[in-house]
Amino acid sequence: MERVSGMSGPGGRVSTWVRRQPSATLLAAQLAAVLLYPFMEGSHAGRAVFSVFGIAILGLVLLAVRSSPWTTVVGAALAAPAALLLLVQAVTNDDTLLPYSSALEAVLYFYAAGALIAYMLADHEITRDELFAVGATFTLVAWAFAYVYVVCQAVEPGSFTAAVDPTDERTWVELLYLSFTTLSSTGLSDIVPIRPFARSLVMLEQLAGVAYIAMVVSRLVGLTVIRRGA
């Protein structure tokens, strides 16, 4: 990671940490979002904050994938329209644009996850940021599929049901919860897909979770063992 000089004080140290450990920063922000999102749903003010927070997360995603000018340009091209739609939602408190912003965010998050996987597989050295990237990539994929579920629910209402209020539309937190339980193969089954295409999407996420563990986590664990044994 690049060195940053000429900064002092708490603000400078935080900025330096963010620049040197972008994956760790992204992971911390996403884990914080998991705890904060439930308090943002159910009110206009909360949904506005939700949109603004989403824009901040998009910025961290761009920071995490800035491995080359090309990846940064592609990431920015995906993030800019998504951020604009989120900003409109924050100002108007109108969820009409939610499926469109969610579709753009899903593409960006999948792209960012691919960029971080390429970053982790680029060499045979393991850095601290790469270890954090393991968790950040997992959360990126979970977020991406949750946004896919949002789009699926908008296109085909009733795609998902739950033990509580089974006929209602599922909230963002519920769909994110479904995504995490599916990707981690936990499968708690209190929120389930009931339409054929929704089930197909869930099956794809199950496959992605198994493939991620097999391809990335096992490789990093193996390299760690080799390094310690050298």
Q: Are 56 and 36 in contact (CB under 8 A)?
A: no
CATH number for the domain that contains residue 163? 1.10.287.70
For the segment 133-179, what is each residue's pLDDT rounded down to a tens digit? 888 999 999 999 999 999 999 999 999 999 889 999 999 999 999 99
Please give the C-alpha separations between residue 37 and each of 2, 32, 80, 172, 184, in angstroms, as whole numbers. Answer: 33, 9, 22, 8, 20
Residue 122 within a domain: yes
Rounded to an integer, the average pLDDT of 16-41 is: 85
- This model's pTM is above 0.95: no
Q: Give the confidence band of 61 by pLDDT, cuts at 50, 70, 90.
A: confident
Structural domain span for residue 223: 9-229
> How many domains does one find in the chain?
1
